[in-house]
Structure 1
């Protein structure tokens, strides 16, 4: 099981340096890739904490203590996390619609967001399907990592990257909402603290990788003049969410 998690996390890190060893035809692309190893520190620590938390008795005790502490103050459940997970990346489009321009145009930022969502979603779902971590409420054994939290932090990093040159407070607000999403996943007894930590790390890293790979993905879609997309609400009988479809 540890080998599976290590392989998946390693694949995330490998994606971030995609194209580094390509031939002469990709030299121009490689020059555009702006990979920064120091940017791996925070998401790496978060992911590492979550993975170690699967085996460490000390971190499992922290999970249990956190759950019990929150449970003492629970009056009823709030499903706000089903919606707040999407608020940060939707804010990027709302701000642009309001005339507050970010770093990229509609096409480029949508390519970046789609790449980040695919990286994050694939990573989270593969780990969930190969894992066996029981949720705190005992409903299923796919607790690790938190997909809601991963989505929220993916969006928070996306908001930060698009608007950090306008005002850092946009990014701060996005991360506060993302942290709140993670808290409510624990508050609603759906995830352990280590699940939330790993989800946050995966979300942040997925967006960073998407920006690092953007010089590559932009060249792939450079001949596509039209980009259409739709975001629709979905409900699976238990949880609400959004489905995104993009055509190039």
Structure 2
């Protein structure tokens, strides 16, 4: 799997460090941090309250639900797996199961989880190809920054991204399914006409 190339990729990315990348990749870092995790859903939901937009409120709620599920999953896996971070210099195959120290909580990447969760929910809700490209590019920059800053292995970011995408799509699809059930329903109504008993199928859109 990806772990077999983790060390090689890590060394190659870090070798190309420069001032431009130092500054540019910080955008990705901020997008995956805790205040983005808390702030973006609150801003979206709050905008829905202020402007009386059900769509914004729903998007905010989906962000909160998805981030909570993805965040809990990632946090538990970090502790259970206990993988050493690259800067610990323990190698890519060093695992310390049931470890709570940050230096040994590399897998999965929390920043990547947050970034891809947010991008997935917003992409699903906006439903525009250009918005999706921008959102997923931003999340990918977050994942790249985690490797670039020597905080994570490549495989850490892939698992974090997978968790975020899965959570975002799950809750977005669940909402869409709920709306579909609300939009289209049917009833079977008994009828009595001239002594004949029958049934009518009534569709509600």
Give the TM-score category using the shorter length: 0.5 to 0.7
Change (3 A) 1:161 1:92: farther
Q: Once the 2 structures are TM-superposed, how far is the Cα of residue 91 of structure 1 from its aligned partner? A: 9.6
Q: Which runs of 5+ in 2 are unaligned?
A: 89-101, 180-205
Change (3 A) 1:62 1:119: same
Deviates more, 1:69-78 or 1:149-158: 69-78
Would you say the 8 A contact 2:83–2:104 is kept in 1?
yes
Would you say the 8 A contact 1:92–1:159 is kept in 2?
no
The equivalent position to 2:69 in structure 1, one of 116, 119, 139, is: 119
Q: Which residue of 1 aligns with 2:9?
A: 66
Q: Which residue of 2 aligns with 1:134?
A: 84
How many pairs were matched up? 153
Q: Once the 2 structures are TM-superposed, how far is the Cα of residue 81 of structure 1 from its aligned partner? A: 3.2
TM-score (norm 1): 0.54
The residue correspondences of 1:83-98 to structure 2 (distance < 5 A) are 83-85=30-32, 86=36, 90=40
The equivalent position to 2:169 in structure 1, one of 193, 202, 208, is: 208
Superposition misfits of 4+ residues, deviation over 6 angstroms:
215-218
Q: Once the 2 structures are TM-superposed, how far is the Cα of residue 60 of structure 1 from its aligned partner? A: 2.8
- Structure 2 CA distance, aligned partners of 1:82 and 1:193? 15
Change (3 A) 1:215 1:80: closer
Structure 1 or 2: more helix by fraction:
2
Would you say the 8 A contact 1:120–1:150 is kept in 2?
yes
Q: Secondary structure at the match of 2:87?
A: coil
- Structure 2 CA distance, aligned partners of 1:84 and 1:189? 17
- Structure 1 CA distance, aligned partners of 2:119 and 2:42? 10
